[in-house]
Amino acid sequence: MDADVKDVSLAGKGRERIEWAEGEMPVLRLIRERFEKERPLEGVRIGACLHVTTETANLMVTLKAGGADVALCASNPLSTQDDVAAALSEAGVPTQAIKGEDNETYFRHINAVLDTRPQVTMDDGCDMVNVIHRDRPDQLDSVFGGTEETTTGVIRLRAMAADSALKYPVVSVNDADTKHLFDNRFGTGQSTIDAIMRSTNLLLAGRNVVVCGYGMCGRGVASRARGMGAQVIVTEVDPLPALEAAMEGYRVMPLLEAARIGDVFVTVTGDKAVIRSEHMQVMKDGAVMANSGHFDVEIDKTALASLAVSTRRIREFVDEYTLADGRRLHLLGEGRLVNLAAAEGHPAAVMDMSFANQALSVEWVVQHHAELGPQVYPVPPDIDAEVARLKLRAMGVDIDTLTEEQEEYLQSWQEGT
């Protein structure tokens, strides 16, 4: 496959930034060193549809070190780092990704990767799995299996499996504890706030920040916004996370109420049409809306456009919509995941764990595909535990071990008062 990147001359800059991220990814480095010796992926063709970032670049290099032939495209039209795409292509990972590509180019790039007839697919949002099942079913027989990175993708895969539409096994990397408890929370939390600050330069202290959805990502965004001095309001549809948010000290209320007082809104639900026309109609002048959920459907962009009498791009990644009464509402990163569109995505130290799970899950699929059915599989618990153990070791953190007496005690039912 040929590369299709914005500008090959950016490769040098990309190389340096990939090297910088590598310094924060010690677990992936250990896996790469083992892969170099053992070559567990020798000759395996991998098609990856992931955010093209410095961290993904290190994952690609790890898979290649294991002997795989890898081709990469973007999992979102706005998340590509063009210098990384250039550097990867130069380093022998043909990459088809250009930041800001239109929908047609986005799907052309996915199809170009599928032209390499991958035996393993790696997805972030399930678009590659969708395209191969819908448009290229003749290729399904040659696929061993796949991996999926994010909550939204796993929801789509489970729906496919329930309809018997899924034709090969996929490992739900998102469900590993060492993924969603860290990446979704600490990664999305920090990088979403980073993106809002980079794109707007707003002072968050003293502002009302409304977080829609208090799942793993919402917990992270809410806690980091509070850390910046914001007054955080949470909206939810599920009583359990809503209760947790209330006990964490956040104000919890319906979005229609929050819409009147919020300064900054962040959606992280995995749902659609969360912020709708009725909410926009009561928002304050200057309100800022950002989405960090997977698809650009959480904020109803069509409703926003039809409410507006004029629009302009007032800053990079900030679109200003002026309503008939003169109020101005701002949408960041075109409503696409803001942390990747307007910042750099998760810090490498957290992607280290997510991508360690990815690399080890690919190895597991290659080793076990003959025994697996067309279902969604969890990351094997020993892989999850190994990633946590390696990360602690890399951080120089030691923990205690159970004494024999404690092991016995924890397994017995006879001892008590």
- Residue 36 Cβ, how far from ligand NAD at the closest point, in Å? 29
- Residue 338 Cβ, how far from ligand NAD at the closest point, in Å? 7
| Interface region with ligand NAD, contact rule CB under 6 A, candidates 39-47, 107-115, 139-147, 237-245 | 237-245
Q: Measured from the CB atom, is 31 or 290 closer to ligand NAD?
A: 290
| Interface region with ligand NAD, contact rule CB under 6 A, candidates 1-9, 83-91, 266-274, 374-382 | 266-274
SS3 of the chain: the string is CCCECCCHHHHHHHHHHHHHHHCCCHHHHHHHHHHHHHCCCCCCEEEEECCCCHHHHHHHHHHHHCCCEEEEECCCCCCCCHHHHHHHHHCCCCEECCCCCCHHHHHHHHHHHHCCCCCEEEECCCHHHHHHHHHCHHHHHHCCEEEECCHHHHHHHHHHHHCCCCCCCEEEHHHCHHHHHHHHHHHHHHHHHHHHHHHHCCCCCCCEEEEECCCHHHHHHHHHHHHCCCEEEEECCCHHHHHHHHHCCCEECCHHHHHHHCCEEEECCCCCCCECHHHHCCCCCCCEEEECCCCCCCECHHHHHHHEEEEEEEECCEEEEEECCCCEEEEEHHHCCHHHHCCCCCCHHHHHHHHHHHHHHHHHHHHHHHHCCCCEEECCHHHHHHHHHHHHHHHCCCCCCCCHHHHHHHHCCCCCC
Site for ligand NAD in 291-330 (CB under 6 A): 292-294
Q: Which residue shows structure tokens 């202290």?
A: 205
Site for ligand NAD in 74-103 (CB under 6 A): none
| Interface region with ligand NAD, contact rule CB under 6 A, candidates 4-12, 287-295, 320-328, 367-375 | 287-295
Whether the Cβ atoms of residue 122 and residue 147 lie closer than 8 Å to each other: yes
- Residue 4 Cβ, how far from ligand NAD at the closest point, in Å? 24
Whether the Cβ atoms of residue 88 and residue 14 lie closer than 8 Å to each other: yes
Q: Draw the binding track, 267-286, toward ligand NAD (x: CB under 6 A; -: no contact).
A: -xxxx--x------------
Decide: is 184 part of the binding site for ligand NAD (CB under 6 A): yes
- Residue 110 Cβ, how far from ligand NAD at the closest point, in Å? 18
Q: Which residue shows structure tokens 């930041």?
A: 99
Site for ligand NAD in 186-215 (CB under 6 A): 188, 212-215
| Interface region with ligand NAD, contact rule CB under 6 A, candidates 9-17, 265-273, 275-283, 309-317 | 265-273
Residue nearest to ligand NAD (CB): 215
Q: Measured from the CB atom, is 121 or 269 closer to ligand NAD?
A: 269
Decide: is 333 part of the binding site for ligand NAD (CB under 6 A): no
Size of the site for ligand NAD (CB under 6 A): 29
- Among 7, 42, 238, 407, which residue sits at the site for ligand NAD (rule: CB under 6 A)? 238
- Residue 98 Cβ, how far from ligand NAD at the closest point, in Å? 20
- Among 76, 152, 190, 223, which residue sits at the site for ligand NAD (rule: CB under 6 A)? 152
Whether the Cβ atoms of residue 271 and residue 236 lie closer than 8 Å to each other: no
Q: Which residue shows structure tokens 């960090």?
A: 292
Radius of gyration from C-alpha coordinates of the chain: 22
- Among 8, 91, 161, 237, which residue sits at the site for ligand NAD (rule: CB under 6 A)? 237
- Residue 398 Cβ, how far from ligand NAD at the closest point, in Å? 30
| Interface region with ligand NAD, contact rule CB under 6 A, candidates 8-16, 106-114, 288-296, 316-324 | 288-296
Give the end-to-end CA distance of the chain in Å, rounded to a whole number.
Answer: 69
Decide: is 357 part of the binding site for ligand NAD (CB under 6 A): no
Strand order in the sheet with 318-323: 251-252, 231-235, 208-212, 264-267, 288-291, 328-332, 318-323, 308-315
Q: Measured from the CB atom, is 119 or 292 closer to ligand NAD?
A: 292
Q: Measured from the CB atom, is 131 or 157 closer to ligand NAD?
A: 157
Decide: is 119 part of the binding site for ligand NAD (CB under 6 A): no
- Among 241, 262, 333, 335, which residue sits at the site for ligand NAD (rule: CB under 6 A)? 241
Q: Measured from the CB atom, is 66 or 241 closer to ligand NAD?
A: 241
Decide: is 133 part of the binding site for ligand NAD (CB under 6 A): no
Residues engaged in binding ligand NAD (CB under 6 A): 150-152, 180, 184, 188, 212-218, 235-238, 241, 268-271, 274, 292-294, 337, 339, 346
